[in-house]
Amino acid sequence: MSDIQKAIDKFNHKNFKAQYAANAAQARDMVLAIIGKTDTVGAGGSMTLEEAGIIEALLERGNTVISSTLAKKAGSDPTQARKDGMTADVYLTSSNAVTLQGDLINIDGVGNRAAAMFYGPDKVVVVAGKNKLTDNPMTAVTRIKKEACPPNAQRLSRDTPCARTGKCGECEGPDRMCNVVVRIQYPTTGKEIHVILIDEDYGY
């Protein structure tokens, strides 16, 4: 059995709703099937969603998508967008890491994305590539700080050691991005969490 199938089986055993997607096109179709045509969608910042064309597909279909990224492009307040996203019908995001034990591991700077996943909209959709798979929570955090934080810090023009050198410096400055570490082991009470794992690499 492949690692991606092991993770899917474990998520489903723990009351998540996990599915396998062979590629981005299949993942997009799954997301569009889960999210209603009239649903408002809060979205966390995610290279996976952008690379897979999922945000674009929702906008083309006519869904209202609320995210700090779109707010910045429109000249609106990104802070308000983060708050509004917490009260949308659905929250859509990726995950920094996914464990074979059926955990979603995320490190946030502001914390809205992680909070929305466990205490926000009643329905959450998480899309992740197979490159996000790790053995356990400890290897997940290592993966995030090594593979995700440096390129994210560079992309966001943060003044951090990882942006400058490509390696985590366990910094304490104002531009630090690793402020909140969240492990979601099971869906929180009353919440429906869909996990779509793509059998390709997306995001970082």
CATH number at residue 24: 3.40.50.10420
Whole-number pLDDT of residue 90: 98
Model pTM score: 0.94
Measured CA distances, 54 to 57, 63, 89, 188, 194 (Å): 5, 12, 17, 25, 15
- In the three-class reduction of DSSP (H, G, I as helix; E, B as strand; rest coil), residue 184 is classed as strand
**Contact yes or no for 108/34 (Cβ under 8 A):** no
Q: For 7-57, write each residue's pLDDT tens digit.
A: 999 999 999 999 999 999 999 999 999 999 999 999 998 999 999 999 999
The structural domain count of the chain equals 1
Query: Would 44 be classed as within a structural domain?
Result: yes
Measured CA distances, 151 to 55, 70, 160 (Å): 21, 20, 11
Q: Which residues form the domain of 159?
A: 3-198
